[in-house]
Amino acid sequence: MQCTVCGVETESKYCKDCEMIMEEIIQKVGEKRWNAIDDCSYIYPMIVRATKGELTVNDIINAMEVED
């Protein structure tokens, strides 16, 4: 199986790094808001950049504010 976000081989839907970033985002924005997003795939490239240290979780949240 491959990570839905970055494509690396993993045992679950998301790899450990991407899942950690996503959990932090969900924790900061809240479950209700996260579940209200119809298609969160636009966030995936930013999550990959966050795992590389190019972006922070706050950068991703700010980008989500613009999309809303």
Residue range 8-64, pLDDT digits in tens: 999 999 999 999 999 999 999 999 888 888 888 889 999 999 999 999 999 999 988
CA distance 30 to 33: 6
54 in a structural domain = yes
2 in a structural domain = no
Q: What's the angle, vertex CA 51, arms to CA 45 and CA 57, rounded to 5? A: 80
26 in a structural domain = yes
21 in a structural domain = yes
How confident is the model at residue 47, as a pLDDT?
Answer: 93
User: Which domain range does residue 33 map to?
Assistant: 16-67
How confident is the model at residue 36, as a pLDDT?
Answer: 84
Predicted model pTM: 0.84
Q: Look at the chain and report how many structural domains it folds into.
A: 1
Confidence of residue 68 (pLDDT cuts 50, 70, 90): low
More confident residue, 67 or 11: 11
